[in-house]
Every structure is written in C-alpha cells, then in structure tokens.
Amino acid sequence: MQIERVILIVLDSVGVGELPDASLYGDEGSNTLGNLAKALGGLQLPLLGSFGIGCLTEVAGVPCPQKPLAAYGKMAERSRGKDTTTGHWELTGIILENPFPVFSSGFPPELIEAFAKAIGRPVLGNVKASGTEIIRELGPEHQRTGFPIVYTSADSVWQIAAHEEVVPLETLYQWCETARRLLTGEYAVGRVIARPFVGEEGAYVRTANRKDYSLEPPQPTLLDHLVGAGHEVLGIGKISDIFAGRGLTATIKTGDNDEGMKELILALDDFPRGLIFVNLVDFDMVYGHRRNAEGYAQALEKVDRQLPQVLEKMNSKDLLFIVADHGCDPTYHHTDHTREYVPLLVYGSGVQPVNLGVRETFADVGQTIADLFGVEALAAGESLRARLGLGS
C-alpha cells in the first residue's frame, strides 16, 4: 500500500508507566497517564481509548477495547536521558549513549562570568528553579536593573528570562545565541531557551515568544533523509527548535495546544504529501512541571475531542502516529520529567489494528516512516511496515 502522507503527533510528556531503569533517575512508580487518571477518578478519552491507549497501562475511565481501531503498543527509550530533545531525536533515529549535561547546582562561575562579559552585564539567579517561581522572585530586581535571569532545571537547559518591556525580544534572542555559542564540550546543554514575560510584580505572565536553541543533531535524522529525497517536511510547534531548524521545508510556530491542533487541521488541506510533525507542548510545559493534574487532564481530553477533525481530513494514503517523548507525571513527588514508556498508536485505512507490543526504542517510529517513504534507512530502529499490514 502506498503511503503519501504521515502525520506524527507528539503528546509531549504523556508517558504510560515507569521504565525498568526508572530507579536510576529517581522515578520509581511514575506513570503519567495512569496516575493522572487514578488521581482524578477517571478520564474521558473516547478517541484515544478507541485507538487502544487504555491497553498500554491501566487508565481509569479508559478501558482496553476488544477491537481497537488502531495498532497499539508502547516504546522504551534506549537513549540515556528523559528530556524533550533526546526523545524527539530518538523518534527520528538518533540514540544518545551519553546524556546531555545537567547543572542542578547552577552553572560554573567561569561559565557565568564568560556569559556576563559577552553580554556586558551581570546576571541574576544561576540556580535550578521553576520558571514561574523564579520570575516571581527575581522579576522585580530584573525590572530595576535590566540584568537577565539565568536558571536551569532537571533538564539539560540554560534558560534566560527577561521582561519584554525591559529587554527587547531581539536582545533576549541575541543573548540566547551568545549562550549557545559558549555552551560547548562538557557544557553542551541540549537547549538554550528564551523565556520572555510581561506584567507587574506579583502578576508576571510568561508569553508565547519563547524560543529554543537546540544543539544540532550529531548525525542525519529521518527529517534530513526525507528532505534530501525531495519530500516535504512541515514542523508544527517547537519541532524546528528541537532540530535546530534542520530537516524541514516549512515551519509553523504555535503558542499552545489549541494553535497546534488548529494549524495541523489547516495543514491537512495545504500539505497533501510528506511528513507533518507536530509537538503539543502544554501537557509538559503548562501542566506537568507545575503538577497541575486537573489542567493536564482537561488539556488531554480537549485534544481527544479535536482529533476527530484530523481523522475526517485523512484519506486512504495517510497514516497517523500518536506518540510521546518522555513522561512528566503531575502526581509525582518532584517537578521534573519522568523516565517512562511512551504510547505508540498508528491509525490509517489500511492499518491492521494489531498489538505492537513493547518496542525497544522510539526509533522504530522513524525507521517505519523512512521505509514507507522509501528513503535511506536510519541508524537505529526496526520498521513496523509489515506488522502494520502496509506491505514489505
């Protein structure tokens, strides 16, 4: 069967249970979807439920159907780490043997000094912190001085927060580019992130003008192979940021899940062939890290209600993958990502709705897509084309 278009949706952080090595990451007992449903007395996910997401872990309110409409399974992360960049890169064929560096005690003084010298002013913070908490704490001083707020998290990130009326966005982005150039070798964090905010003391709000500066993937990804072979690749959301702008023929930035789903639905009219790669970040950024279980559930249920509009626009030569990149259990005892299995749901008119079992790597997704488009095979992953009933 000829597939001409693939839609790949990443439900950012929607994990489905701890990996066998979760204890090495302090994540024993984590289960983003299962624990979320249990905490709230059940979820309403009729579309995802019909696809078989309730077969992957126990999800209160979402049983495993006798005859799922999609092929279903779950995937283990073979790379070391549990961050966004690592997860997305593995989906496209890259396995990281060494995790990105993290700086839970803040960045080394010599690195901060080099950055401050390069931008011509001191910095505030240099701690591991919640983004909303650190702007609440240091926002007033930042407004008085104009000094950027630098902070990190449990992820491999260097984040710079600045008030849009104090530091123009162009300047904030330049500072991030400066940091990206400095962060090499042992300091090569996965992402530098611009975190602009607005408002007054006691009522600061982060804006949608966030911008990520990722390391470039160390080897060609699925996206590079597709573009090199002449296929269209559209990135929606922060896909361009995660891949440092590489391997894309078009990019649409979005501010939240609603914009992401809206742009996806519109793109189904405008991009009849190739890969449409979508990241829905709110689950992670807005709700998971802030341990807002109720908000997380509402966001997940809303996307479930929007997904039928995607299915309505699909044709017989389309294939839909719904996956995740890591966990971020909003019921857990810490505010970091969680090391979990992620869902693998595959839907299309020619797909056999089989149990795909437990996959050894996220890269099976990328390898399958490479096989379907007839491009160069990836360095990792197994193609599921035959298992899906799409030929061999």
CATH number, position 237: 3.40.720.10
Q: Tell me if 388 is assigned to some domain.
A: no
CA distance 46 to 203: 37
pLDDT at 108: 97
Task: Using CB atoms within 10 Å of the CB of residue 244, give its burial: 0 to 12 exposed, 13 to 18 middle, 19+ buried.
Answer: middle
18, pLDDT greater than 80: yes
> Same structural domain for residues 328 and 221?
yes
- With vertex at residue 56, the alpha carbon angle to CA 331 and CA 7, rounded to the nearest 5 degrees, is 100
State which of 160, 192, 214 marks the end of a domain: 214
State which of 196, 214, 232 marks the end of a domain.
214
Dist CA 358 CA 356 (whole Å): 7
* Domain residue limits at 143: 109-214
- Residue 360 confidence (pLDDT): 98
Q: Is residue 385 part of a domain?
A: no
- Answer whether residue 353 is part of any domain: yes
Determine the average pLDDT of the residues in 347-359. 97
What mean pLDDT comes out for the span 382-389? 98
* Residue 104 counted as domain residue: no
DSSP 288: I
pLDDT at residue 104, rounded to an integer: 87
Least confident range from 90-94, 206-210, 262-266: namely 206-210
Do 248 and 308 belong to one domain?
yes
Predicted confidence at residue 392, as pLDDT, reads 79
Determine the pLDDT at residue 382: 98
Instruction: Give me the pLDDT at residue 139, please.
Output: 98
Q: Give the whole-angstrom CA distance, residue 160 versus residue 131.
A: 10
**Judgement on whether residues 353 and 204 belong to the same structural domain of the protein:** no
pLDDT value, residue 208? 86
Q: What is the pLDDT of residues 97-128, one digit of tens each?
A: 988 999 989 999 999 999 999 999 999 999 99
Q: What is the DSSP letter of 185?
A: G
Model confidence, pTM: 0.92
Amino acid at 33: L
Residues 205 and 117 grouped into a single domain:
yes
Per residue in 41-83, pLDDT (tens digit) is: 999 999 999 999 999 999 999 999 999 999 999 999 999 999 9
Q: What percent of the chain stands above pLDDT 90?
A: 94
Note whether 115 and 86 are same-domain residues. Answer: no
Please tell me whether residues 149 and 232 are part of one structural domain. Answer: no
Q: Identify whether residues 121 and 224 lie together within a single domain.
A: no
Would you say residue 205 lies in a domain?
yes
Question: Do the beta carbons of residue 209 and residue 227 sit within 8 Å?
Answer: no
Q: Is the pLDDT of residue 1 over 80?
A: no
The pair of three-digit structure tokens given for residue 32, joined into one six-digit string: 């983003």
d(CA 302, CA 307): 9
pLDDT at residue 240 greater than cutoff 80: yes
Phi-psi region of 351 (alpha: psi -120 to 50; beta: other; left: phi over 0): beta
154 pLDDT more than 90: no
Distance CA 378, CA 95 (A): 11
> Is 390 inside a domain boundary?
no
**Domain of residue 175, CATH code:** 3.30.70.1250
Q: In the prediction, which pLDDT does 53 show? A: 98
Q: Is 151 helix (H, G, I), strand (E, B) or coil?
A: strand
Asked if 198 and 344 sit in the same domain, the reply is no
Q: Provide the pLDDT confidence category of residue 216 given band limits of 50, 70 and 90.
A: very high
Find the mean pLDDT for residues 179-190.
95
- Count the domains in the chain: 2
Residue 383 resides in a domain: no
Do 72 and 123 lie in a common domain? no
Same domain, 90 and 232: yes
pLDDT (0 to 100) of residue 70: 98
Report which of 330, 336, 311, 333 is spatially closest to residue 261, judged by C-alpha positions: 311
Tell me what the mean pLDDT of segment 327-346 comes to: 96
Q: Does one domain contain both 37 and 75?
A: yes
Domain boundary among 197, 214, 231: 214
Report d(CA 266, CA 260) in Å as an integer: 10
Residue 218's CB is within 10 A of a number of other CB atoms, namely 9
Q: Identify whether residues 197 and 325 lie together within a single domain.
A: no
The answer to the question of residue 102 being in a domain is no
